[in-house]
Every structure is written in C-alpha cells, then in structure tokens.
Amino acid sequence: MALRLGIVGAGAIGNVHAEAALRNGARVVGVWDLHAERAAACAARHGATADATLDALLARADVDAVAVAVPNVAHAECAIRALEKGKHVLLEKPMAMTLEECDRIIDVAARANRVLQLGFVCRGSPAAHAAKALVDAGRLGRVYHVKCSIYRRRGIPGLGGWFTTKSQSGGGPLIDLGVHVLDLTRWLCGSPKALRASGACYASFGSPIANYRYVEMWAGPPRADGVCDVEDHATALVRYEGGLTVEMNVTWAMNIPDGAMKDGVFLFGDKGGLAFQIFGNDLTLATEEHGRIADVKPILEPGDALAHAWDRQYRQFLDATQRGVAPHASAADGRAIQAIVEAIYRSGREAREVEV
Ligand SMILES: NC(=O)c1ccc[n+]([C@@H]2O[C@H](COP(=O)([O-])OP(=O)(O)OC[C@H]3O[C@@H](n4cnc5c(N)ncnc54)[C@H](O)[C@@H]3O)[C@@H](O)[C@H]2O)c1
C-alpha cells in the first residue's frame, strides 16, 4: 500500500515535500499549518484534506508518516509529538535548535520504534551521488581535505521573519545552509567523528532592515518591523578523526563581485580530487591516468538536479518506512551535524578552536 503522508507546516518547503512525495508513489492525505489558509491551499493543491490542529492530523489512522517542515524552533516539538503518536517522521534540517533537543527526539524515536529520517536532501543530487560512488570506489585515495561553500550576494531569507530571528531559527546561514554542506561532506568522507572546530560568524547586512538591498530572496520580502539578530556569514575549519579537515564558508549576503565565487564542494585525496556544484550538472575528477594528469567528467543523470535530489530523498524514506531499510540520513547524523554547528558558534564567540 502507498505510504500515506501528512504535511506538518505548509510553507515553501512543505509544498515541495508534498510534490516529491506524490511523484514517488506516496499519497498526501493530511496537511496542518499554524495558518489555516496555508494548510487549506496546500491540501487543495495536493489532493489532501486540511486538519485544524496538529493533534487532529496526528490522531488520524490513515496517516502513516509526516514530513515536518516548520520553522526550526518547532522541529523538536512536532517531531516528538508525531513519533509519540506512532508516525514515521521525515524531519527537515537542521535537526533542532540545540543538542539537548536532538537527544530528546532521538530518545522518543527509539522508544516509538518509528523511522526518523533527516532532510539532508543535498546528498541526493546527481553530482553528490556520483561523488559518493567515486569516493567509495577509492578513486580519490585518502581524502584529507575538503572545501565546501554556499555563497549568496544578497540572499537573506525573509529578512525580519523567522529565519533571521535567533529564537526561532537558532542562527543564520550556519544552521540554515552550513548544515547541508557539513552533512554532505561528512557523508562523502564516510561519516568520521568531528573532533574540533574553529569558526567565526559575521553580521554585516541584516540591519537596519530598511537599508537592505537584495537580488535574490527566499521566504518573502524584508519586513522593516522584523528582527535580524543572526549572522549573515559563517566560516569554519572542522577537524575530524583520522586527520580530515573541512573548510566551510556559507553566506546569505556578501560583497561578492558578480560570478566571482561559485558554490561548491571540493574533495582532495592522495589519488584524486573532485569538484562539483551541489545542484550543478557536472562534476570533475582530477586524477592521473596512464601516467598523465587528467580531468575526468562522468556523465550525470540528466534533468533537474534538485528534483532528482528530492526524488531520491523520498525513495529512501519509502524504503525506510515500507521495506525496513535503515534511514539514509539518520538522527545520529542530524545530531553529529548539530554538535559541529554548536561548536562553530561557540568557537566564534570565544575566538578560539573548541572541542566538538
Ligand atoms: N531541505 C531544504 O533544502 C530546505 C530549504 C528551505 C527550508 N528548509 C527547512 O524547512 C523548514 C521550513 O522552511 P520554509 O522555508 O518552508 O519556511 P516557511 O516559513 O515557508 O514555512 C513554515 C510554515 O510552518 C508554519 N508553522 C507551523 N508551526 C509553526 C510555528 N510553531 N511557528 C511558526 N510557523 C509555524 C508556518 O505557518 C509556515 O507556513 C525549516 O526548518 C527550514 O530550515 C529546508
């Protein structure tokens, strides 16, 4: 029988969850949002019914699983309530606001014996998927250093809204975007244990909100009467067991000349190196072949890379909930990334390298 999904949080990403679920053979049966009109619109678009309260959605016997796509501040509460009601959960990133919240979610998931998968969707992009196969096949040898970045020139999401309000988001681009690249690179390298981190955070563009000029926007235009008390750029070096170092830069806003800095992931190993943009359509392996230094460009899955990533995430969630396969991005992964994020914030505050 098709998995019957409920959507918890019918905002931008809640709707993307519904579309991906439907494309991959699940049914979307219920939708809840704090704003009833958003739940109704999402439900109407995806052939579901809107539920008046979260309790009502979770009480439904015809809901097997939920996608939790609410602001970060509500991740733990919604995930825990869903697990306690016996629902499988696909939980958006970041796992929660704090490590303590992650531990509470993990504890409840273990007792509920339900699937808890994390929304680290970048792992499923065609480039990331190809990169993982090359790393696992040994084509890079020992990977000792990684660079990863997401740069936006002016792209503070919903400036003044929940993304830029620390009490609702937990932070800026580090907890928003950094979790994606930190998870992706850790996963590519075999999920080593993070030991120490050194980082810094900067806030240069968000306030006063009325002065902000932007070229790209996620989550609505700036709200002049809103709050911006989070960073807009974060940089870090993370040291892992075995000697791997990961250098990360994530920014919502920065004075970057047009096109000068490309997002991407670069892996450096003693046999080969890799470069790709997460949702780009190509990847290059720098290696030596037949005694010559060579660049190899494997052909990636054609089509929309973002849609491929979402499809893969949903196929994995279906495998986990219906066929007993271990969740692809686990709660332990979510917690590991949360620990790194907390260490980077702490390092920035204390201006020194800290233990993860
Ligand atoms: N996987 C990705 O690539 C990706 C991309 C963007 C956002 N996200 C994550 O998805 C989640 C939602 O982000 P979004 O961009 O869809 O946000 P959004 O603001 O568009 O949607 C959030 C929805 O949750 C509802 N909501 C439910 N409970 C709430 C509460 N307690 N407080 C406030 N609002 C509540 C809001 O009414 C809103 O409709 C976040 O955790 C974010 O980090 C993931």
* Other C-beta atoms lying within 10 Å of the C-beta of residue 26: 24
Domain residue ranges of the chain, discontinuous segments joined by +:
4-114, 123-303+337-355
Is 0.95 topped by the overall pTM? yes
Residue 308 Cα distances to 110, 123, 301, angstroms: 30, 10, 8
Closest ligand 1 atom number to CA of residue 11: 21
Domain 4-114 homologous superfamily, CATH: NAD(P)-binding Rossmann-like Domain (3.40.50.720)
pLDDT of residue 217: 67
SS3 203: coil
Which whole number is the average pLDDT over 3-18? 98
Handedness of CA 32, 36, 38, 42 (dihedral sign): positive
Substitution site in 92, 95, 308, 337 for ligand 1 pocket (most atoms within 8 Å of beta carbon) = 92
Query: Is pLDDT above 90 for 224?
Result: no
Q: Smallest Cα–Cα separation from 68: which of 49, 81, 51, 50? A: 81
What are the DSSP calls for 149-161, one per residue?
EE--SB--TTTBS
Residues 6+ apart with CB under 8 A from 9: 32, 33, 68, 69, 70, 71, 74, 78, 92
Closest ligand 1 atom number to CA of residue 157: 15
Ligand 1 centroid from CA 70, angstroms: 4
Distance (Å, whole) CA 234 – CA 228: 15
Axis-axis angle for helices 179-188, 126-136 (nearest 10):
30
Kindly report, residue by residue over 21-74, the tens digit of the pLDDT. Answer: 999 999 999 999 999 999 999 999 999 999 999 999 999 999 999 999 999 999
CATH code for the structural domain at 123-303+337-355: 3.30.360.10
Ligand 1 centroid from CA 10, angstroms: 8
